């Protein structure tokens, strides 16, 4: 008989201890499912410690998405999970197709492709609720259906068709497929599993709950540990978890057991329980638990002093880097400073999320290239020429501003004016445009040699030639072919060894280029019947640069992230 237990408890309750004891009693015939990969890694380390062994034989801990992926792959169902940016690309292709234009013309929508991210979010919400396209549409009374409902219904239906034709999955789609597998038979992944545990969740989507219900008859017991505090004064904080508890109670017809929270035993626990509370807490009376508040004049000083203190903890107090976390409100604004300072101090660290391709050396270059491709100002050239991936001779690079100034060119001049003056004006200080009477200006000009200008002309011609090739493309297919050729040339120079990088940064650039060259091939396929302009194609490429992620998540040392990334984790 399928037995379901639902236990609610906060981080200050015996929830983890009870779960650990129950799981080990069922091991190795049990699987633990948690919300995130990082929390799964934490539990794997905890189990090794509790079992007093050095390695686990087999996989026993998963985050929910990877559990579903593993379940399907065990059934020989290949899970090609596509990212959100690619889902938006699919929706854009639907909106910009000939069928889409005919359907949307009557509504006189301006730039309908800009609705892609909004529609993807709606589709995701519908799929999480287990709602199919027709079910969504016909659940709305006909007199209340309007433009919005008709467009969403049509796009959602086409989106599902494209996903099915290509064997692609979004996350809710994987859960739907896993549910069907479990309804039809006992999956291979669960062949030796008697108990499934879930830990650390606040809520479940309807699609997730349906999958949990499909475990009935496939395992003997399902035990769900939710992050919930039953204290009456904290019900508003745990409103989401309370709703999940009630839904689970209804679906599985079982009682919920709640665990009381501990009282604070040290300063850190006291602050954790009282800091974000509507009323002023009583004064802390604990001596144990060290909390320090420091002020710094700027970010650089703050990070440098923090790194110095972390280094001291590692060396003098023998605290493992893996037991230290450094948390910021917004990591993006300080990430480069952190990387520079921590590498300078020799502190092993791990950034709490994978980098976007646009943040790598090649990604930044491509971002600048496509962002300024249609600009006709001199400024757009300098953005590229000063990049290390543009092979401009160093002796010319440092004189670019002088060369431009010598010919009376400023950053806002059109590029064709620059071309014209470089062709016609001799390198003669009496013929210079601009401030001839400025002695400093004339003295600077004397440092410019004719060969410097000639080299600059060569690079300018190269830039103009590439731009001409791009702007002359007549179709998405041609644009992709030119982009592939351009990226391969950039990669050839990057991988030649002239740019010295550590193994990790080289690897993430290689991974990013490989993913980009693979993904860009879908553009002609998606937009086969769409007459896309160059601006739209450039926007699609920029979306790819933003969407592709690189780098493998490896626990290397001090964890650096934002507050949500340390949810459920513990540090010294």
Give the closest residue to 492 by CA, choosing from 380, 391, 394, 384: 391
User: How remote is the C-alpha of 91 from its chain's centroid?
Assistant: 20
Tokens of 36: 């995130």
CA distance 317 to 330: 29
State whether residue 89 is helix, strand or coil: helix
Name residues whose C-beta falls within 8 Å of residue 284's C-beta, 6 or more positions apart in sequence. 264, 267, 270, 271
DSSP character at residue 322: G
Q: Is the dihedral of CA 137, 139, 143, 147 positive or negative?
A: negative
**What does the radius of gyration of the chain's CA atoms come to, in whole angstroms?**
30
CA distance 200 to 15: 9
Instruction: Tell whether the model's pLDDT for residue 127 goes beyond 80.
Output: yes
Would you place residue 134 in the very low, low, confident or very high pLDDT band (cuts 50, 70, 90)?
Answer: very high
CA distance 448 to 306: 47
Q: Which pLDDT score is estimated for 433?
A: 41
Q: What tens digit of pLDDT does each residue of 531-564 get?
A: 888 998 999 999 999 999 887 555 678 888 887 7
Among the ranges given (27-36, 123-132, 502-511), the one the predictor scored with the smallest mean pLDDT: 502-511
Question: What is the average per-residue pLDDT within 290-298?
Answer: 81
Q: What is the mean pLDDT of the chain?
A: 84
Question: What is the average per-residue pLDDT within 300-310?
Answer: 91
The answer to whether residues 147 and 130 touch, using CB atoms and an 8 Å cutoff, is: no
Would you place residue 401 in the very low, low, confident or very high pLDDT band (cuts 50, 70, 90)?
Answer: confident
Q: Which pLDDT score is estimated for 139?
A: 92
More confident residue, 276 or 29: 29
pTM check: above 0.85: no
The answer to whether residues 377 and 415 touch, using CB atoms and an 8 Å cutoff, is: yes
CA distance 353 to 328: 13
Q: How many CA atoms lie within 13 A of 338 on its CB side?
A: 21
Percent of the chain past pLDDT 70, that is, above it, reads 87
Longest dimension (CA), the chain: 98
408 sits in the region (left: phi over 0; alpha: psi -120 to 50; else beta) called: left
Instruction: Tell whether the model's pLDDT for residue 441 goes beyond 70.
Output: no
Q: What tens digit of pLDDT does each residue of 470-499 get?
A: 999 988 999 999 999 999 988 988 887 766
More confident residue, 444 or 81: 81
Name residues whose C-beta falls within 8 Å of residue 316's C-beta, 6 or more positions apart in sequence. none
CA distance 173 to 327: 34
Instruction: Tell whether the model's pLDDT for residue 109 goes beyond 70.
Output: no
Q: Which of 197-206, 375-384, 501-510 has the highest mean pLDDT?
A: 197-206
How distant, in Å, are the alpha carbons of 13, 272, 494 from that of 8?
A: 9, 19, 54
User: How remote is the C-alpha of 253 from its chain's centroid?
Assistant: 38
- Beta carbons within 10 angstroms of residue 359's beta carbon: 20
Among the ranges given (67-76, 81-90, 278-287, 499-508), the one the predictor scored with the smallest mean pLDDT: 278-287
Q: Which residue has the tokens 């107090």?
A: 317
Instruction: Tell whether the model's pLDDT for residue 439 goes beyond 60.
Output: no
CA distance 1 to 81: 34
- Beta carbons within 10 angstroms of residue 490's beta carbon: 19
State whether residue 565 is helix, strand or coil: helix
The phi and psi torsions of 203 (rounded to 5 degrees) equal -160, 165
Question: What is the average per-residue pLDDT within 79-106?
Answer: 86
Q: What tens digit of pLDDT does each residue of 243-278 get?
A: 888 888 888 888 788 888 776 666 666 666 666 565
CA distance 502 to 460: 31
End-to-end Cα separation, the chain, in angstroms: 42
Q: Which pLDDT score is estimated for 131?
A: 93
The answer to whether residues 227 and 201 touch, using CB atoms and an 8 Å cutoff, is: yes
Instruction: Tell whether the model's pLDDT for residue 145 goes beyond 90.
Output: no
How distant, in Å, are the alpha carbons of 70, 87, 362, 522, 544 from that of 549?
A: 22, 15, 13, 17, 10
CA distance 103 to 533: 20
Question: What is the average per-residue pLDDT within 367-393?
Answer: 85
Tokens of 258: 């709640």
CA distance 323 to 571: 5
Tokens of 15: 């929830």
How distant, in Å, are the alpha carbons of 294, 298, 314, 341 from that of 301?
A: 12, 6, 20, 10
Pairing of strands 325-328, 256-258: unpaired
The answer to whether residues 222 and 4 touch, using CB atoms and an 8 Å cutoff, is: yes
Q: Which pLDDT score is estimated for 553?
A: 54
Tokens of 451: 């060969």
Question: What is the average per-residue pLDDT within 305-313?
Answer: 91
């Amino acid at each position: 008989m399928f037995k379901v237990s639902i236990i609610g408890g906060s981080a200050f309750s015996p929830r983890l201890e009870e779960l650990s004891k129950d799981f080990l009693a069922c091991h190795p015939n049990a699987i633990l499912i948690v919300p995130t990969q990082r929390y799964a890694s934490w539990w794997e380390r905890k189990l090794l410690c509790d079992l007093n062994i050095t390695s686990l034989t087999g996989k026993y801990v998963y985050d929910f998405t990877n559990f579903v992926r593993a379940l399907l792959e065990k059934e020989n169902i290949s899970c090609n999970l596509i990212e959100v940016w690619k889902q938006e690309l699919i929706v854009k292709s639907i909106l910009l197709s000939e069928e889409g234009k005919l359907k949307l013309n009557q509504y006189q929508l301006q730039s309908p492709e800009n609705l892609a991210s909004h529609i993807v979010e709606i589709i995701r919400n519908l799929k999480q609720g287990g709602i199919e396209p027709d079910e969504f549409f016909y659940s709305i009374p006909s007199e209340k259906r309007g433009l919005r409902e008709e467009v969403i219904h049509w796009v959602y239906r086409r989106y599902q068709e494209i996903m099915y034709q290509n064997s692609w999955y979004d996350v809710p789609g994987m859960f739907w497929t896993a549910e069907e597998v479990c309804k039809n038979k006992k999956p291979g992944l669960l062949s030796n599993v008697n108990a499934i545990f879930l830990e650390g969740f606040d809520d479940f989507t309807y699609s997730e709950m349906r999958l949990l219900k499909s475990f009935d008859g496939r395992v003997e017991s399902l035990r769900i540990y939710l992050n919930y505090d039953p204290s009456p004064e904290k019900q508003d904080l745990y409103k989401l978890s309370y709703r999940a508890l009630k839904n689970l109670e209804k679906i599985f017809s079982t009682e919920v057991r709640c665990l009381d929270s501990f009282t604070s035993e040290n300063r850190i626990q006291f602050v954790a329980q009282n800091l974000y509370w509507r009323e002023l807490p009583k004064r802390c009376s604990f001596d144990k638990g060290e909390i320090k508040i420091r002020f710094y004049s700027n970010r650089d000083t703050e990070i440098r002093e923090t790194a110095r203190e972390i280094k001291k903890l590692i060396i003098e107090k023998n605290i493992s880097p893996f037991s230290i976390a450094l948390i910021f409100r917004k990591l993006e604004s300080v990430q480069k400073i952190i990387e520079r300072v921590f590498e300078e101090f020799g502190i092993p660290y791990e950034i709490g999320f994978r980098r976007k391709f646009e943040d790598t050396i090649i990604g930044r270059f491509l971002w600048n290239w496509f962002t300024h491709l249609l600009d006709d100002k001199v400024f757009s050239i300098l953005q590229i020429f000063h990049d290390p991936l543009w092979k401009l001779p160093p002796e010319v690079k440092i004189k670019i501003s002088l060369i431009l100034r010598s010919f009376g060119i400023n950053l806002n001049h059109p590029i064709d004016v620059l071309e014209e003056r470089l062709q016609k004006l001799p390198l003669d200080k009496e013929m210079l445009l601009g401030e001839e009477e400025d002695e400093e200006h004339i003295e600077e000009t004397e440092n410019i040699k004719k060969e410097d200008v000639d080299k600059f002309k060569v690079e300018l011609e190269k830039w103009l030639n590439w731009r001409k090739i791009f702007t002359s493309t007549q179709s998405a297919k041609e644009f992709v072919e030119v982009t592939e050729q351009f990226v391969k040339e950039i990669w050839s120079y990057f991988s030649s060894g002239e740019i010295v990088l550590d193994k990790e940064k080289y690897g993430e650039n290689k991974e990013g280029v490989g993913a980009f060259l693979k993904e860009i091939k879908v553009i002609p396929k998606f937009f086969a019947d769409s007459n896309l302009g160059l601006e739209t194609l450039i926007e699609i490429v920029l979306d790819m640069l933003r969407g592709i992620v690189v780098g493998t998540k490896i626990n290397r040392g001090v964890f650096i992230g934002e507050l949500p990334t340390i949810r459920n984790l513990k540090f010294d």
